[in-house]
Amino acid sequence: MGKGATLPAERIQRRIYLLRGQKVMLSTDLAELYGVEPRVLLQAVKRNRTRFPSDFMFQLSRGEFAVLKSQIVISSWGGMRRATPYAFTEQGVAMLSSVLRTRRAIRVNIEIMRAFVRLRRMVISHEEMARRVDALEKKYDAQFKAVFDAIRELMRPPTSPRKAIGFRVEEARAAYRLQRRRRASR
């Protein structure tokens, strides 16, 4: 990433996961974005452990890690790992900027904060749209009751028996067969 270059928003947003009811980023992804090794990032965090309470950062359980790995189908995390990655909440990512002081870390951190804000705005706009649809539905239910009743009436199966389709032969025997026999006997 050159000077002044920014990360694509999609690249960051794809790395924000929902774990334990919180939007988080994994230490492995953050290390890659910051341009440092994961162990370097975690060493900096461990040196400043008081800045990262449990609501800022937590370590994934083996089960959570296995589920996450299977959901996002990534094998780039390598084979066997000694420890599962850490998950950083939005506040934890913000705190990382005070621990990692490189220019790249600061630029990346700004972009990550913007991605979290965009995600929050999308959630709020979806909730607002759902409220509006509910309000419209309540408001227009009475007006469209006649329409819904008519549709239900059309969907109801007919009560009277249907007339048979086709034709019936009411002759005992077809007359043309008799004529053929007479011609053949001549």
What one-character-per-residue DSSP string does 53-122 give?
A: -TTTEEEPPHHHHHHHHHHHT--TT-S--SSPPEEEEHHHHHHHHHH--SHHHHHHHHHHHHHHHHHHHH
Query: Is pLDDT larger for residue 93 or for residue 123?
Result: 93
Contacts of 106 (CB under 8 A, 6+ apart): 97
45 vs 40: CA distance, rounded Å: 9
Note the pLDDT of residue 57: 92
Contact 5, 108 (CB under 8 A): no
In eight-state DSSP terms, residue 172 is S
In the predicted structure, residue 99 carries a pLDDT above the cut 70: yes
CA distances (Å), origin 147, targets 40, 144, 154: 66, 5, 11
Rounded to two decimals, what is the model's pTM? Answer: 0.57
155 vs 150: CA distance, rounded Å: 9
Contact 105, 97 (CB under 8 A): yes
Nearest to 45 by CA among 105, 82, 98, 89: 98
Lowest mean per-residue pLDDT among 18-27, 32-41, 105-114, 143-152:
143-152
CATH of domain 9-124: 3.10.260
90 vs 14: CA distance, rounded Å: 15
In the predicted structure, residue 44 carries a pLDDT above the cut 80: yes
14 vs 12: CA distance, rounded Å: 5
Contact 105, 34 (CB under 8 A): yes
